[in-house]
Amino acid sequence: MQNSGARTVSTIREDLKITGDVASTGEIHLDGHVQGDVNWGALVLGESFSVEDSVTADEVAIGGRLIGSVRAFRLMLQSTSHVEGDLIHQSIAVEQGAFFEGKSRSLGQSALRKSA
């Protein structure tokens, strides 16, 4: 994840469970559990993170468990990730050891913005 000095960083620790939608324009580091939609500017999903629903962000790095869909310009599945669902992205990187089951579709930047 790129870190610009103007970007606000929020953290959700592993002992927190959120039921409902979460949204912000800043950067978030999630290690807790979210049951609902996540819509963020930049998102780092830690190893102890889990989400059940959809994730939308400019940048997403997944290190935990995600069951649902991801829509991002830049997407990284880290070696510890477990993803079941559909991925829509402009660019994707998958580390060795990552688990992915679902569909992956690459779209141009303008198509991503229109379908978000």
Over the stretch 50-90, which tens digit does the pLDDT of each residue have? 878 888 889 999 999 999 999 999 999 999 999 999 999 99
From residue 76, how far is each of 12, 41, 107 by CA, in Å? 20, 15, 15
pLDDT the model gives residue 5: 53
What tokens appear for 52 in the block? 């059940």
**Whole-number average pLDDT of the chain:** 83
Q: Classify residue 49 by burial, with Cβ atoms within 10 Å: 0-12, 13-18, 19+.
A: buried
pLDDT at residue 7, rounded to an integer? 61
Amino acid identity for residue 22 in this structure: V
As a whole number of angstroms, the longest Cα–Cα distance in the chain is 38
Distance CA(88)–CA(37), nearest Å, equals 15
Q: Tokens representing 37?
A: 């939609």
Round to whole Å and give the CA distance between 31 and 14: 4
Is the pTM of the predicted complex or chain greater than 0.85? no
pLDDT at site 81: 94
